Amino acid sequence: MEVYLDNSATTMVTEGVRDKMIKVLEEDFGNPSSMHMLGVRAENYIKDGAKEFAHILKVDPKEIVFTSGGTESNNLAIIGSVMANKRRGNHIITSKIEHPSVHEPFAYLEDNGFDVSYVSVDGKGKIVKEELYGMVREDTLLVSIMYVNNEIGAVQDIEEIIQELKKIKNDLIIHVDGVQAFGKYRIYPKRLGIDLLSISGHKIHGPKGTGVLYVNSKTRINPIVFGGGHQRGLRSGTENVPGIAGIGQAAVELYTDFDEKMDRMYQLKQHFIKEISKLEGVSFNGLTIKNDHNGEVFDMEVIKETAPHIISVSFEGVRSEVLLHALEDRGIYVSAGSACSSHSPKPSTTLAAIRLPKELMESTLRFSISDSTTREEIDYTINVINELLPMLRRYKRK
C-alpha cells in the first residue's frame, strides 16, 4: 500500500486538471499574444483563469497576475511593492517563521539598505501581536505575514492583525503568503485588508510552475521581470497557458463542496492525533491538545486552531530521517519537520522560533493530508508507526 502524506510539499493533479491541460497542449496551443484565432483561444484561457480566481477571492479579474509559483509571487509582491513605494518609507516587517521565499527577498532588501524587523512567535507559532504592533514606525512601508505556516500549520489571526496594523498606520502595504492557506480557508482580500496575496498551483492539485499574485488595484508595484509587457506590464513573458488553465481548474474544483472537504480533513486529523498521542514520548507542534483522563477525546475546537492539512509530530528518541525512511520502506511518504536536507542543511527556523528543544527538532516529522486522503490510509500509517517506533527507539543514537 502506498500512502502519500506530503501534500504540503506538493499535491497530485486531479483528472480534471490533467485533461484540461492536455486539451490546451494538443488543441489550443497558440501564443496568447497572437492575433489569429489560435491566439485568441489561448488568450481566453488566461481571461477565464483570472475570472475563476477573482470569483473565489471576490476581487476584480484585473487584480490577478499569473506567475511561476509561490516563490515568484512572494518575490514580486515584496520586492516589487517596496521598490515602487520606497520614497514612502525604509522600514519593512516580517515574522521569524516565514518561508524562505519571503525571508530571502527581505534579506536582499536589507542588503540594499532597507531596515528590516522580524517579529517573534509564541510556542504555538502565533505571532506576538503586541511586539508586532510596537514595531510599526512612521517610515514602515510593508508588513509581510504568512497565513498558514508550512511546517506546523499555525494559523495567524490575519483579520485582527491587519485591522490593528491599519489603525496604527493606514497606508501600510500588507502582503500575505497564502500558499498553504488558499484552498483551506475562504480568503477575501478586500474584506481582510490584504493588498498582496500569494498563491501556488502545485499546493492545490494544480501543476507545478504555476502561481497567482493578487494585487489590489490601489497598490503600486514594480515588475521584477522585464520584457514584452505581458499582464499589464507586471509580469513579462509569454503566459503558461496550459498551466494557467490547470491552476484555474484546480481552484474551482477545490472550492466545490468546500466545507464538506475541510470537515472531512479535520476529522482525519483529529483521528490521527488521537491515536498517535497514545504512544509514549510523542508531542504535537503548533497546538495544545486537550483530552480526557483516558486520552481518548480531543476537542475539535483545539484541532481547528491549526490548518486542516498539517500535523507536526515530534517522536522522542528517534531521528526524523530514520523514521522517515522506515516509513518510506512501508510505502508511506512524509517530510522531516526539521527541514534538514542537501538543499537546507540548517535546522528549521520555525521549530527554532517556537523554541522546540534541539533533540525534538531532530525528531520531528510533518504529515500533510489532502481532500483525497482516506481513513484507510491514515489507519495504515497509524499501525505502521505503532509497529516501528518501539523498534527504532532501541537503536537510539548514543
User: For 337-391, what is each residue's pLDDT tens digit?
Assistant: 644 444 555 678 999 999 999 999 999 999 999 999 999 999 999 999 999 999 9
> At residue 237, does pLDDT exceed 70?
yes
Q: How confident is the model at residue 297 (pLDDT cuts 50, 70, 90)?
A: low
Q: How far apart are CA 302 and CA 258, in angstroms?
A: 21
**Considering 340, 352, 382, 392, which one is annotated as catalytic?**
340
Confidence of residue 299 (pLDDT cuts 50, 70, 90): confident
Residue 233, pLDDT score: 81
Dihedral of alpha carbons 299, 339, 177, 10, sign: negative
Q: 15-254, what's its fold? A: Aspartate Aminotransferase; domain 2 (3.40.640)
Residue 289 has pLDDT above 80, yes or no: no
Count of positions (residues) in the chain: 398
The per-residue pLDDT for 311 is: 97
| Counts for the chain of helices (H) and strands (E), in that order | 14, 13
3-state secondary structure of 187: coil
Is 398 a residue whose pLDDT tops 50?
no
Encode pLDDT of 249-287 as tens digits.
999 999 999 999 999 999 999 999 999 999 999 999 998
Each residue's pLDDT tens digit, 26-41? 999 999 888 999 899 9
State residue 342's pLDDT score. 42
Q: CA–CA separation, 269 vs 392, rounded Å? A: 24
Quick one: what percent of the chain has pLDDT higher than 90?
A: 88
Q: Is the confidence at residue 314, as pLDDT, over 50? A: yes
The confidence score (pLDDT) of residue 302 equals 87
Rounded Cα gap, residues 17 and 31, in angstroms? 20
Q: 105-155, pLDDT tens digit by residue?
A: 999 999 999 999 999 999 999 999 999 999 999 999 999 999 999 999 999
Residue 296 has pLDDT above 90, yes or no: no
- Is 15-254's fold the same as 257-393's? no
Calculate mean pLDDT across residues 49-61: 98
Q: What CA–CA distance (Å, rounded) separates 269 from 111?
A: 42
Q: Domain 257-393 is in which class?
A: alpha beta
Residues 107 and 249: their CA atoms lie apart, in Å, by 35
Domain boundaries, the chain: 15-254, 257-393
Residues 210 and 66 sit within 8 Å (Cβ to Cβ)? yes
- Examine the pLDDT at 190 and tell me if it is beyond 90: yes
Model confidence at 290, pLDDT cuts 50, 70, 90, reads low
- Residue 163's pLDDT band, with cuts at 50, 70 and 90, is very high
Give the mean pLDDT of 163-172.
97
pLDDT tens per residue, range 67-118: 999 999 999 999 999 999 999 999 999 999 999 999 999 999 999 999 999 9
| Mean pLDDT, the chain, whole residue set | 93
340 is catalytic: yes
